[in-house]
Chain A
Amino acid sequence: MPRMNGTLLVGLAIAGTVGALAYPVFYSYPHRNDAATAAAAPLAGDTVNTQWGPLTPLDRELIVRVRLAGLWELPAGQQAMQKSSNPAVREAAQHLITGHNDLDKRARNASQLLGVPIPNVPNAQQQGFLDQMTAASPADYDRVWAQLLRQAHGNILPVVATVRNQTRNTLVRQLASDTNQTVLDHITILEKTGQVDFEKIAENAAGPSASPTGPPPPSPGVVPPVAPAVEPTTDVVVSSKPSPTTPGTINTNRPEAPDPNALPTQTPTP
């Protein structure tokens, strides 16, 4: 009888051990990229058709994120106007207020026309950013303020660019173009304050894995051959102007956004 119990115990222990050994081989490892795959699949998800073209989850996310940006960056701009005496910070705050007032109108227009529900309060993370600004000592205020805002704008810029590339919805396409201009303007003006820590931003952008790839570093003392200019080989007459503006400025001129309150309201799509 004691012998029987011992065998049972050993048998159970062996089964448990073999199970634990097999788990990573047959479950964890084959499923290691599940989260990444799920994150990359929103295109097929709940796409709905609208008169302006298909509207994907990523399209709706952009509308919501532009709205959320206004919900915390407007108060952040207003707070800096009260708390900072640094002229460069106050100039950046004015760009934030003007830019997000305008973008908010455009996001609300898109939301109404496309029937996308949008939030009316900042999310928990954004509320946390505002709390950090409020709690910052006068000596730290400009630095904390500029860094949080520069980081947030830098995070959204590639997302805006991705939506601008792949959206099939004409309203979202225009919103993405306008957002690109405003976000790049805010990034530029926030950097002009001289309060941004670029090393921290580079660290945050690097993520947990993947080292940067690219051409090898230049060898010290070796000057690469001069590259000839790209020039037309035929006689072509061109009349357009290059897009870049004076360094430090971004062209945010565009027609006034229509009043969102004057638009017809649509029923929200699922």
Chain B
Amino acid sequence: MPRINHSALVIAALTTTVAALAFPVWSYSDRSGTGVSNTAAGTVNTQWGPLTASDRSLIVRVRLAGLWEAPAGEKAMAKSSSATVKEAADHLLVGHGDLDERVRKVAAQLNVELPNQPNEAQQGFLAQMDAAPAGKEFDRVWASILRKAHGTIFPDVAAIRNQTQNTLVRQLATDTNQTVLDHITMLEKTGAVDFDAIANGLI
């Protein structure tokens, strides 16, 4: 009788041990804390192909870009005396006027709701521009904030251009890629962009 109890005890202990050893093998597969990928999460079908959450994110971000970068362009036209800053502002106004028209058309076709106000961060950017004294300081703040924002979205646009299965989003990503690269180039031409700060993530 005591012999059977001991065996049971040992077997129970072994089972627990093996289970404890196996557990990290399971938890390791989820080691970065993210769920297993589900590319179809939130995807809906449209006549132009599947529309994913990432696709909708691009549409909203292109709209948001126009909502604060067009006013930013106007501020530079009114406040800066630099010819290259005004030229860049001209490109921002024309480029985002054009992209906004495209994104509103795409959003209407795909039934994606668009914001009509810049988000909080973007309103903060506009406030920083308002607060900067006219002259070199305004030009530096203006060009650096805009260059940073365009540089941040550029790889995201490229990723969507690669992976989208929606023909409308694909064309929007192409048009956005071309416009953003133009704006990056024009903003850099002002000579007011701090490249070290951008490379080190300090802006």
- Looking at A29-37, A66-74, A105-113, A134-142, the stretch in contact with chain B turns out to be A29-37
Interface footprint category on A? 35 or more
**Bound-complex Cα distance A241 to B94 (A):** 7
**Chain B 84-101 per-residue mask, 1 if CB under 8 angstroms from chain A, else 0:** 000100110111111111
Task: For B31, list chain A residues within 8 Å (CB).
Answer: 28-29, 32-33
Known: A177-B181, A206-B163, A226-B108. A215 touches B37 (CB 8 A): no
Q: Does B132 contact A (CB under 8 A)?
A: no
Q: Which of B24, B49, B155, B199 contacts A43 (CB 8 A)?
A: B199
Verify B95–A199 contact, CB threshold 8 A. no
B117, chain A: closest CB distance, angstroms: 11
Q: Which of A155, A164, A166, A244 contacts B98 (CB 8 A)?
A: A244
A172-192 contacts to B, CB under 8 A, are: 173, 177, 180, 184, 187-188, 191
Query: With contacts defined as CB atoms under 8 Å apart, how many contacts are there between chain A and chain B in the complex?
Result: 222
Known: A214-B52, A214-B53, A238-B93. A21 touches B21 (CB 8 A): yes
Verify B77–A230 contact, CB threshold 8 A. no
Task: For A4, list chain B residues within 8 Å (CB).
Answer: none
Verify B175–A240 contact, CB threshold 8 A. no
Q: Which of A158, A177, A210 contacts B185 (CB 8 A)?
A: A177
Across the interface, name the chain A residue whose C-beta is closest to B21: A20
**Chain A 191-228 per-residue mask, 1 if CB under 8 angstroms from chain B, else 0:** 10000001101110111111111111110001111111
B28, chain A: closest CB distance, angstroms: 6
Across the interface, name the chain B residue whose C-beta is closest to A229: B100
Verify B199–A227 contact, CB threshold 8 A. no
**Chain B 46-87 per-residue mask, 1 if CB under 8 angstroms from chain A, else 0:** 000101111111001001001100110110011000000001
Q: Does A243 contact B (CB under 8 A)?
A: yes
Verify B94–A238 contact, CB threshold 8 A. yes
Q: Which of B42, B60, B77, B177 contacts A217 (CB 8 A)?
A: B42
Query: Can you name 9 A-B residue pairings with CB atoms under 8 Å?
Result: A28-B31, A53-B195, A157-B162, A165-B198, A188-B174, A210-B37, A212-B52, A215-B53, A240-B94
Residues in chain B within 8 A of chain A (CB atoms): 17, 20-21, 24, 27-28, 31-32, 34-39, 41-44, 49, 51-57, 60, 63, 66-67, 70-71, 73-74, 77-78, 87, 90-91, 93-102, 104, 107-108, 110-114, 116, 151-152, 154-159, 161-165, 170-171, 174-175, 177-179, 181-182, 184-185, 188, 195-196, 198-200
Q: Which 3 pairs from chain A and chain B are nearest by CB? A: A214-B57, A214-B53, A154-B162
Residues in chain A within 8 A of chain B (CB atoms): 17, 20-21, 24, 28-29, 32-33, 36, 43, 53, 56, 154-155, 157-158, 160-162, 164-168, 173, 177, 180, 184, 187-188, 191, 198-199, 201-203, 205-218, 222-234, 236, 238-245, 247, 250-251
